[in-house]
Amino acid sequence: MSDMMKCFVMHGIGKVGMVEKPIPRPGSSDAIIRTTAALICTSDTHTVAGAIGDRNGLTLGHEAVGVIHELGELAAASGLFKIGQRVAVSAITPCYACDNCQRGFSSQCGGMLGGWKFANVKDGSFAEYFHVNNAVANLAPIPDGLTDEQAAYCCDMLSTGFVAAEFANIPIGGSVAIFSQGPVGMMATVGARLRGAGLVIGVESMPNRIALAKKYGCDVIVDFTKEDPIEAILKLTGGQGVDSAIEALGSAKTFAACVSVTRPGGTISNIGYHGDGDSVPIPREAWGVGMSDKTIRTALCPGGSERMSRLLRLIETGRVDPLALTTHRFAFTDIEKAFRMMQTKEDGMIKPLISFV
């Protein structure tokens, strides 16, 4: 067996390609996973477009599952895992020891957004093997009834989509507007249903996404190319506005719309990545001149094996079937093609599955 592996990396801004790197070795608390299935995320394309700078040689990818290939000494001593076991790993892999982790904000491990390590501060998981820090806290066994593909959706799509709904503080039977029905927005839709929303309004314009968003639980779709979404949502709620709004796009305009359509005392839950400009404006009057009792929350995909286990269980007990998100399938050797399609979302691509067999 070779000690080299294939990796799909960024070659500076705008460029990607396959390279060989040594198979990583674990530190004492760590694990090495042999990849079986991965998903490409729009944020991978943001990275290549330069969102976090020129990461020449960085392996991309943060949504992947696999089998345990090697365990560090402490990780092995925990007795929790065995070589060959199928595991899912969140996109976010906190240390669970630092101040922010102890405070309950493990996505901010060690500093702002610091739980995000894959394809940011270390190599990602678009590789035949990948390294996982703090294995005890970050490896979630995949239940027997689940496929690797299903499990891969827990790494980011379910965790991020659902936290949007959890932080939106939706009262049981309450109303929620979800701006954009991309894959995370659709999982926010599922999450809103799982938290008991009585009315879920999706804002979207692409026909294939509209169709899928309805399947995932939107009661109503507002097509912002056909009507003003603020007016439409106010009308749908008798002029009151929604209890909660979710920003799942990452645009200043939709963020402002979220504030505008949320009733006083309601919550705006942001999970969209805001990549442009110096600031994201809050509309002053809709914000009640700063006195409306409206709350604005934000989150970065929560990680950790305990949460991952709950997400896996939701698939296992039939609460959500993420597979309808998989519009395309590729072998790892064809990942560059998949990646190029994800950049343009051509052919109605929502999520492409990458198989490592």
How far is the C-alpha of 85 from the C-alpha of 63, rounded, in Å?
Answer: 18
8 A C-beta contact, residue 324 and residue 153: no
Q: Is 194 in the site for a second copy (CB under 8 A)?
A: yes
Q: Which residues of 316-341 are buried (b: 16+ CB within 10 A; e: fewer)?
A: beeebebeebbbbebebeebeebbeb
Minimum Å distance from CB 123 to a second copy? 20
Contact pick of 26, 182, 272, 322 for a second copy (by CB under 8 A): 272
253 binds a second copy (CB under 8 A): no
Q: Does 79 bind a second copy (CB under 8 A)?
A: no
The residue among 182 and 352 lying less far from a second copy, judged by its C-beta, is 182
Subset of 14-43 contacting a second copy (CB under 8 A) = 27-29
Q: Which of 7/165 has CB closer to a second copy?
A: 165
* 145 scored as a contact of a second copy (CB under 8 A): no
Spatial distance between the Cα atoms of 229 and 337, rounded to a whole number of angstroms: 35
Write out the two tokens for 282. 């809050």
**Contacting a second copy (CB under 8 A), which of 34, 69, 86, 195?**
195
Q: Which stretch binds a second copy (CB under 8 A): 10-18, 228-236, 248-256, 339-347?
A: 248-256
Contacts of residue 53, defined as CB under 8 A and 6 or more positions apart, other chains included, come to none
Phi, psi of 240 (to 5 degrees): -85, -30
Stretch that binds a second copy, among 12-20, 142-150, 171-179, 331-339 (CB under 8 A): 171-179
The answer to whether 148 and 86 are in contact (CB under 8 A) is yes
Residue type at 30 in one-letter notation: D
According to the binding rule CB under 8 A, does residue 287 interact with a second copy?
A: yes
Q: Are 265 and 294 in contact (CB under 8 A)?
A: yes
Nearer to a second copy, 162 or 216 (CB): 162
The residue count for binding a second copy (CB under 8 A) is 89
Among 228, 265, 331, 340, binds a second copy (CB under 8 A): 265
* Residue among 2, 226, 291, 357 that touches a second copy (CB under 8 A): 291
Residue range at the interface with a second copy (CB under 8 A); choices 11-19, 92-100, 144-152, 201-209: 92-100
**Residue 284: is it exposed, middle or buried by C-beta count within 10 angstroms (0-12/13-18/19+)?**
exposed
- Which range, of 226-234, 293-301, 331-339, 341-349, touches a second copy by CB under 8 A? 293-301
The site map against a second copy for 316-345 (x = CB under 8 A) is xx-x--------------------------
Contact call for residues 39 and 153 (beta carbons, < 8 A): yes
Amino acid (1-letter code) at residue 321: D
Site membership for a second copy, residue 281 (CB under 8 A): yes
Q: Quick one: CA torsion of 141, 67, 340, 48, rounded to 10 degrees?
A: 80
What whole-number distance in Å separates Cα of residue 186 and Cα of residue 199? 14
> Would you count residue 273 as binding a second copy (CB under 8 A)?
yes
Binding residues for a second copy restricted to 202-241, rule: CB under 8 A: 219, 240
Beta strands at 129-132 and 199-203: parallel, antiparallel or unpaired:
unpaired
134 is an interface residue for a second copy by CB under 8 A = yes
